[in-house]
Amino acid sequence: MKRSILVSLLALGLAGCAEVSGTPATASSTTATSGVAYEPMASPPPEPQKEDAPKLASKEVWVPGYYQPVAGTWLWHQGEVRNVKEGYTLIPATTREENGKYLFQPPRWRRSDLAAQSK
């Protein structure tokens, strides 16, 4: 009995999140630099929660918290301190509306020379 439960849990863990809420990820889903696709959402995320950024060291940056789509709902991801990546600019998480769906993009690093060109 214990073995069958363990095998089932292992199979679920290895299967990953190929399908969420009965809707498979599509080409319209956003893909992070890590290759993770996020499900398009029918509603926008709630207003961000209020967070106080901590005092940062010279080589640290604050990544503000954000709502991320998980299993058909918006889940809050608390802000965090990260080490600065030399030559890169931190782009915060964003959500954009496209054809009535809300598409999520997690925080990411962009080469500073490319970030300057997009302004």
Domain membership of residue 24 (yes or no) is yes
Domain count, the chain: 1
Nearest CA to 21 out of 38, 33, 2 is that of 38
Please say whether the beta carbons of 88 and 69 come within 8 A.
no
Give pLDDT tens digits along the chain (119 positions).
444 444 343 343 433 333 333 333 443 444 445 567 899 999 999 999 999 999 999 999 999 999 999 999 999 999 999 999 999 999 999 999 999 999 999 999 999 987 566 65
How many whole angstroms separate alpha carbon 39 and alpha carbon 29? 6
Q: Residue 95 carries which DSSP code?
A: E
Dist. CA 32–CA 38, nearest whole Å? 8
Q: Domain limits at 100?
A: 18-107
Question: How far, in Å, CA of 62 to CA of 41, rounded?
Answer: 26
Q: Is residue 90 part of a domain?
A: yes
Buried b (16+ CB within 10 A) or exposed e, 69-108: bbeeebeebebeeeeeeeebbbeebebeeeeeebbbbbbe
- Asked if the structure places residue 91 within a domain, the reply is yes
On whether the CB atoms of residues 65 and 77 are closer than 8 A, the answer is yes
| Residue at 6 is within a domain | no
